[in-house]
Structure 1
Amino acid sequence: MTRLLRSALVIARRDFAATVLSKAFIFFLLGPVFPLLLGGVFGGIGAQVASQTEQPVVAVISSQTDFQRYSASRDRLANALHDDSIVRLVHYDPAADVASQQKQLLTSRKPPIRAVLTGGLANPHLTGSVGEDNAVAQLELILTDARNPASQATDISVTDTKTATGAAAKDQAFTGQIGQMLLFFLTILLSGMVMSQLIEEKSNKIIEVIAAAVPIDALFIGKLFAMLAASIVGIVVWISAGALLIQMISSGGVRSLPAPAVGWPGFLALGVAYFAMYYLLLGAAFLTIGAQASTAREVQTLSMPVTFAQVLIFGFAATTVGRPDSAEAIAATIFPLSSPMAMLARAAQEPAWWPHIAAIVWQGIWVAVILRIGSRLFRKTVLKSGPRAKWWKLRRA
């Protein structure tokens, strides 16, 4: 056992130094920046396009006096709700032939008019395609307010306590959801490193030289923990840079984010612990897959079912957000591959610590079991990196 641990430490130190001290590790740390920038740019463009195309435009054919009352009512409604979700009103003076004017407006593209409101305040009539949204209900509210302009909104005295249970539960559920997504995507992204490194060493026959000097189990465990340590270094850098960025662009800094129930220090510590457990569980599976394959194409073919299965497991764990004591949440906590994600969401919503201690012990047992199974499969297949014999030749022999 002592020789196994010592050999695993040697392999882990070798792979960790080769990964972290290489020039490529700098580009590895910069890797998430480009998807975030592209996601922000295209997300902003998509939101702007959606805002411009989804906001209904209603042409109002009326006198200037009636339209001013319409517009004032619309502005009051927009102040209470999000402005992009309120219909946009465009004024047109009545023409000699209102029916022809209405038909012409409905075929106009600049602006793209959804409906035409005629009749003024006395006898309003709406014509157009408004059956699939709430534009009619909004116009009814606007019309009701426009007909009674003397009625003023009542001022309500407000005392902001910042400790309402409903608001805190909603914010903490959002924090748990974000934590689950980060845990899932970081683990999926980083666990593939062990496969690529293993395939490279198998193709260069380096792994056979190493296997002659150390036990195969130590090689398996050392590689897995080396990539775990390199991934944690990357995560620490990303979290520090993200916290600094939030502190710079936000007046409240990190404190302005929804605080988890266990507090930010405890939540971040549990996040690292659950990432380590999730990475060891999933990384052992990927490392075992890498031992079965001889080429990068075979790795992609074999790892695809595991990746899709993890997406389904992530969806199962995501259903527990907001319901930490439900039957689904308990089942997701017991199942080892969804337990880290379910428990991280629980840390954002429940302040108790004993479930996390029990969950980490439970996950540690499964890590030991999967490492044992994976190391046995790894031992059987890692040295079989040469060309495979044809099945008919094996039968003839």
Structure 2
Amino acid sequence: MIDVIRAAWVIARRDYVASVFSKTFLLFLLGPLLPILAALMFGAVGAKTDAEIARPRIAIIADTADGKALIAARTQLAARLGETALPELRIVAPENDGAAQAQALLADRKRALVAVARGGLIAPELIGPQGPVAEHQERLGLIYDTARRTRALAHAGGEAVPAVAFSVRTVDKAAGSETANRALTARMGQLVLMMLVMILAGMLLSNLIEEKSNKVIEVLAAAVPVDAIFLGKLGAMLAMSLTGIFVWGATAMLALAWFFPAGGPALPAPALGWPAFVALGTVYFIACYLLLGALFLGIGGQAASVREVQTLSMPVTMGQLGVVALASSAVGATLTPLAVVAMIFPWSSPFAMMARAAQSPYIWPHLLAILWQGIWIAIIIRLAARRFRVSVLKSGVVRRGWFGRKRPA
């Protein structure tokens, strides 16, 4: 056993150095970052334009007094509700033919209006397409009500009622918002874990097929035990995956510090806190990677070409999506029967426990889950290594395929 471990270490070190210290690995690291950088660039370029286009503008055909009252009312409401909660107003002096003026304003592309209001403060008329009229009628009505109330107080000789000022006392948390926020963190944690595993575990297959086609596996099998090859390759690809995750994580932290120095957008804090959540996420990634990677290595050992790898790995990939769907039942309801099944089933357990780490402050269930996953990792690696050994030792032997055609083993 010591000889197998020593040989596996040699194989792992060889694969890790050959993969990480190569130009291909640099391109692999840049691969997921390029779409994100492109999205940020195009988003920054078009953000201002999109904001201007998306902001609704309504023309108000009114005299000077009514126009000032409406603008003052909107300013008062915007201070409370925010600028984006109310449509932007454009005051236009009335002309002789009000209906024709409204149609001309709506047809003016430079103004880019969504509706036109006319008729004064007493009996206003809103003109425009059905969608914008239905969307902005209530908000515009709130502005008109505020303007009329202010004018009525002024005409009655009274003074406008000032806006009420609340005495504010903040608390650390509220149960309703805390539950919803942690559910969001749980789902995002599951999504990140799924994406990393599916992207990185597939690299095992391509690496194995390349070495089988180059007869490297046969050379290694003649020098070291086949179990050492299996364990070495699995360990090397895990180490390479963790290296990639570290680089991506460090890049993300630097990007947030550079673009959002005052504190960028962040997910709500998980129940266990960020340090424990990240540590458990790393452990669950390792467990999930070893479970899925062992299967992929076992599958790759049975295949003789890239086409066969794709055919055999497709059910595993689709099954992984089903496993993630099962684990999503643990979000928001960690003690339901379906959630408990997701925590017990080996391949869904890392995803379900990731959700639990975001929603529950207790650490002992994770210790039990890690022990349970470790047992299954040992079982799966043992079974997959046996199939891998059989396939490698039969390499080069001519055997018949499913439809009776001869093909290399």
- Per the normalisation by structure 2, the TM-score is 0.83
Letter in 2 for 1:59: A
Aligned residues: 395
Report deviation, 1:130. 4.0
Q: CA 1:388 to 1:134, structure 2 compared with 1: closer, same or farther past 3 Å?
A: farther
The superposition leaves residues 222-241 of structure 1 with CA deviations (integer Å, 9 ceiling, x where unpaired) of 21121111111222233334
Equivalent of 2:297, from 281, 287, 295? 287
Equivalent of 2:320, from 310, 313, 325? 310
Quick check: 44-53 or 320-329, which moved more? 44-53
Letter in 1 for 2:219: V
Letter in 1 for 2:223: A
The equivalences for 1:231-242 within 5 A come to 231-242=241-252
- Provide the secondary structure at the position in 2 that maps to 1:37: helix
2:105–2:111 contact (8 Å) kept in structure 1: no
- Per the normalisation by structure 1, the TM-score is 0.85
**Cα RMSD for the two superposed structures:** 3.2
2:96 is aligned to 96
Report deviation, 1:387. 8.2
Quick check: 141-150 or 125-134, which moved more? 125-134
Quick check: 196-205 or 87-96, which moved more? 87-96
* Structure 1: distance between partners of 2:353 and 2:64: 60
Quick check: 344-353 or 282-291, which moved more? 282-291
2:117 is aligned to 117
Q: Which runs of 5+ in 1 are unaligned?
A: none
The superposition leaves residues 141-196 of structure 1 with CA deviations (integer Å, 9 ceiling, x where unpaired) of 22222222334321011123334444444443333333222222122221122111
1:320–1:342 contact (8 Å) kept in structure 2: yes
Report deviation, 1:244. 4.2
1:275 is aligned to 285
1:211 is aligned to 221
* Structure 1: distance between partners of 2:51 and 2:322: 32
1:61 is aligned to 61
Letter in 2 for 1:143: Y
Report deviation, 1:123. 0.4
1:356 is aligned to 366
2:145 is aligned to 144
* Structure 1: distance between partners of 2:257 and 2:189: 19
* Structure 1: distance between partners of 2:222 and 2:36: 44
Identity %: 46
Report deviation, 1:107. 3.1
The higher radius of gyration belongs to: 2
- Provide the secondary structure at the position in 2 that maps to 1:74: helix
2:189–2:355 contact (8 Å) kept in structure 1: yes
1:157 is aligned to 167
* Structure 2: distance between partners of 1:138 and 1:184: 43
- Provide the secondary structure at the position in 2 that maps to 1:116: strand
2:355 is aligned to 345
* Structure 1: distance between partners of 2:90 and 2:83: 15
1:202–1:385 contact (8 Å) kept in structure 2: no
The equivalences for 1:1-397 within 5 A come to 1-44=1-44, 51-131=51-131, 134-149=135-150, 150-247=160-257, 249-250=259-260, 258-318=268-328, 320-382=330-392, 383-384=394-395, 391=403
Q: Which runs of 5+ in 2 are unaligned?
A: 151-159
1:285–1:374 contact (8 Å) kept in structure 2: yes
